[in-house]
A and B are shown apart, each in its own frame.
Chain A
């Protein structure tokens, strides 16, 4: 059975004080195992995006515990957070969030800049990631020259280029038509099948067929939590990725 990768305990996010006090998350508890594909659904303002931002270390909870890979990350420094974000977390956004004045290749290589990869390695890895999403001939295009679906695939390539453990997607298909949505979801599915953990926020119930677990949120708390795949049936990290990770870990230790 896959190990627990994320553990949230009593997580609370409060905005405002006194009369204006409101809670985006209230005593939120969640445990996520490696290899899960979680879809979070719920009405607007129920705290989905806040949850994603806290898991992605972009935001801090007002209260509660957050354990990532066995490390308590609720109160670590901003610099340390940035480092973890660069190495372990990949983001996919609704509006793609590619930098307009960089080429697609440079956009995809961006996370590698902040983990100190040499330029040639960065561009090579980015090129490989783009090839995987059938965008290799668009490497030197700028984001504005691509369609929405292509931009989102480039954004997914960026999210996986540093080989992260968790991929967070905030309504990745929200700005796409159904055909482009399906392409993007197929890509996410193939990433998931390699053993990656994906947490995705969506409004579209049709997409839940891709998930191994569907969480419905209401007013900052879990309303329903349904696992469609048993824990022991979650995809294992494939051999190649495992080796690669071991190799890089060995390199880091040396």
Chain B
């Protein structure tokens, strides 16, 4: 049997080699489909790696409380994406933050309340700066580094702010404005610290720290009225306390919210869920599009194999006359289409990673290479070869030897 398989492979190679141009064009059809799949998988892989890196740098002992929307179903994720007033519906309040802080084993609680406001100093005005209202605990939870000065503390939080790197440049034309003052909502604040410039743009809080003004949530709510808290980050003493604290948070917020479960408590892998869900939907849809191009490539293979079968009718007749069974002929043509398709797959993997590398040059993504992706794409091209090679091969195998021998070009 193995000699026969080797022979089939040799025959397929010879036939592909004899029709180089035709074979190359056929492979290209498969290669383009495979390349787009590689591109999609490598980019989404790189994004989810960015997210999980961010999560692990934030720490595994983190609990996040969000206004409840997200479920795992596709519709809820789409709803979450399309509803523009999501953050306005937040049911979390400052009292919730206080309640959580009282739970034992909680080491730090940092709410996140984002708004966009105008900030001025003596010379400049920034019309749309992100203002982050939080607590001094924030620096313990979010792995932020300070370039100059200090973060907010319980002592100075009533009149101090911390600014991001870009905001500092825009407002003060300097990277070190510690000690200078700025005006926000008619009240003057002293800049006590500047954040280190942040280069990776993706983090799971979705905040562009370079353009952010950080101030105390209590002060912010005095100025703006009750702000919307989009998220409360909670750090616990150890990872083993996570589930216990999480249920504690759920219980106390239940009481605070008069029994309503309009919040979600997440920790561990659940943290990345909304982002991963979105990513899965997008990559799934892109993969379907790539799949369509793969089907087109497969039809190309089928077409070429049908031509090949018609051209080689006489050869099929001769092979049958000297003792080839229908199965031998079937295998011969199956091998040819599978090898064509696999060649296309290999070409597609190379092309795909080439594209992914080019994309990585102009974007922050790094191409994500894993043996799983390569295995999946090779398997896909194998399946395409088998599926679209079957009909031509059956057609070849079912040819009548006598008729085929008469068929003389």
- Asked if B180 is an interface residue, CB under 8 A from chain A, the answer is no
- Asked if B371 is an interface residue, CB under 8 A from chain A, the answer is no
Residues on B with C-beta less than 8 A from A91 are 321-322
B328 touches which one: A82, A95, A158 (CB < 8 A)? A82
Residues on B with C-beta less than 8 A from A162 are 323
How many angstroms from the CA of A58 to the CA of B400 in the assembled complex? 9
Contact A79 B325, beta carbon cutoff 8 Å: yes
Contact B323 A86, beta carbon cutoff 8 Å: yes
Contact A119 B7, beta carbon cutoff 8 Å: yes
B325 touches which one: A53, A98, A114 (CB < 8 A)? A114
Residues on A with C-beta less than 8 A from B6 are 119
Which residues of B (386-408) have their CB < 8 Å from a CB of A?
401-402, 405, 408
Residues on B with C-beta less than 8 A from A101 are 14, 18
- Asked if B4 is an interface residue, CB under 8 A from chain A, the answer is yes
Chain B 21-36 near chain A by CB (<8 Å), digits 1 or 0? 0000000000000000
How many angstroms from the CA of A83 to the CA of B326 in the assembled complex? 11
Contact B325 A113, beta carbon cutoff 8 Å: no
How many angstroms from the CA of A95 to the CA of B327 in the assembled complex? 26
Residues on B with C-beta less than 8 A from A85 are 320-323
In the complex, what's the smallest C-beta–C-beta distance from B314 to chain A, in angstroms?
8
- Asked if B254 is an interface residue, CB under 8 A from chain A, the answer is no
Contact A82 B3, beta carbon cutoff 8 Å: no
- Asked if B315 is an interface residue, CB under 8 A from chain A, the answer is yes
In the complex, what's the smallest C-beta–C-beta distance from A115 to chain B, in angstroms?
7
- Asked if B362 is an interface residue, CB under 8 A from chain A, the answer is no
- Nearest A residue to B405, CB-CB: A97
In the complex, what's the smallest C-beta–C-beta distance from A54 to chain B, in angstroms?
10
A86 touches which one: B314, B315, B317, B322 (CB < 8 A)? B322
Given contacts A58-B402, A93-B405, contact A113 B4 (CB under 8 A): yes
**Number of residues in A with C-beta < 8 Å to the partner?**
30
Given contacts A95-B408, A116-B4, contact A58 B325 (CB under 8 A): no
- Nearest B residue to A90, CB-CB: B322
In the complex, what's the smallest C-beta–C-beta distance from B281 to chain A, in angstroms?
50
- Asked if A78 is an interface residue, CB under 8 A from chain B, the answer is yes
Contact A79 B326, beta carbon cutoff 8 Å: yes
Given contacts A82-B323, A82-B324, contact A119 B3 (CB under 8 A): yes
Contact B3 A97, beta carbon cutoff 8 Å: no
Contact A116 B318, beta carbon cutoff 8 Å: no
Residues on A with C-beta less than 8 A from B318 are 97-99, 110
Main secondary structure of the interface of B (DSSP, over half): helix
- Asked if A134 is an interface residue, CB under 8 A from chain B, the answer is no
Contact A118 B326, beta carbon cutoff 8 Å: no
Given contacts A82-B320, A110-B319, contact A116 B3 (CB under 8 A): yes
- Nearest A residue to B321, CB-CB: A91
How many angstroms from the CA of A96 to the CA of B317 in the assembled complex? 12
Chain B 306-343 near chain A by CB (<8 Å), digits 1 or 0? 00000000110111111111111000000000000000
How many angstroms from the CA of A110 to the CA of B408 in the assembled complex? 19
- Asked if B1 is an interface residue, CB under 8 A from chain A, the answer is yes
Given contacts A58-B402, A101-B18, contact A83 B325 (CB under 8 A): yes
**Number of residues in B with C-beta < 8 Å to the partner?**
25
How many angstroms from the CA of A221 to the CA of B1 in the assembled complex? 43
Contact B7 A97, beta carbon cutoff 8 Å: no
Contact B323 A114, beta carbon cutoff 8 Å: yes
Contact A82 B325, beta carbon cutoff 8 Å: yes
A115 touches which one: B320, B323, B405 (CB < 8 A)? B323
- Asked if A111 is an interface residue, CB under 8 A from chain B, the answer is yes
Residues on B with C-beta less than 8 A from A245 are none
How many angstroms from the CA of A101 to the CA of B322 in the assembled complex? 17
Residues on A with C-beta less than 8 A from B405 are 93, 97
- Nearest B residue to A117, CB-CB: B3
Contact A87 B321, beta carbon cutoff 8 Å: no
- Asked if A27 is an interface residue, CB under 8 A from chain B, the answer is no
Contact B321 A79, beta carbon cutoff 8 Å: no
How many angstroms from the CA of A86 to the CA of B321 in the assembled complex? 8
Residues on A with C-beta less than 8 A from B401 are 58
- Asked if A59 is an interface residue, CB under 8 A from chain B, the answer is yes
Residues on B with C-beta less than 8 A from A99 are 315, 318-319
Contact A110 B322, beta carbon cutoff 8 Å: yes
- Nearest A residue to B4, CB-CB: A116
Contact B323 A111, beta carbon cutoff 8 Å: yes
Which residues of A (98-123) have their CB < 8 Å from a CB of B?
98-99, 101, 110-111, 113-119
Residues on B with C-beta less than 8 A from A82 are 320, 323-326, 328
Chain A 113-149 near chain B by CB (<8 Å), digits 1 or 0? 1111111000000000000000000000000000000
How many angstroms from the CA of A139 to the CA of B316 in the assembled complex? 22
Contact B402 A53, beta carbon cutoff 8 Å: yes
B7 touches which one: A53, A98, A113 (CB < 8 A)? A113
Most A C-beta atoms less than 10 A away, residue of B14, B323, B405: B323
How many angstroms from the CA of A117 to the CA of B6 in the assembled complex? 11
- Nearest B residue to A58, CB-CB: B401
In the complex, what's the smallest C-beta–C-beta distance from B27 to chain A, in angstroms?
20
- Nearest A residue to B323, CB-CB: A86
In the complex, what's the smallest C-beta–C-beta distance from B253 to chain A, in angstroms?
73
How many angstroms from the CA of A114 to the CA of B322 in the assembled complex? 8
How many angstroms from the CA of A79 to the CA of B325 in the assembled complex? 5
Given A114-B328, A118-B3, A158-B322, 11 other A-B contacts at CB below 8 A?
A: A58-B320, A58-B321, A83-B325, A85-B321, A86-B322, A95-B408, A99-B319, A111-B323, A113-B7, A114-B4, A116-B4
* A interface, CB within 8 angstroms of B: 53, 56, 58-59, 78-79, 82-83, 85-87, 89, 91, 93, 95, 97-99, 101, 110-111, 113-119, 158, 162
Nearest 7 A-B pairs (CB), nearest first?
A: A86-B323, A82-B325, A114-B323, A111-B322, A85-B323, A79-B325, A58-B401
- 15 CB-based A-B contacts, threshold 8 Å: A58-B402, A78-B326, A79-B325, A79-B327, A83-B323, A85-B320, A93-B405, A97-B317, A99-B315, A99-B319, A101-B18, A114-B319, A114-B325, A116-B3, A118-B3
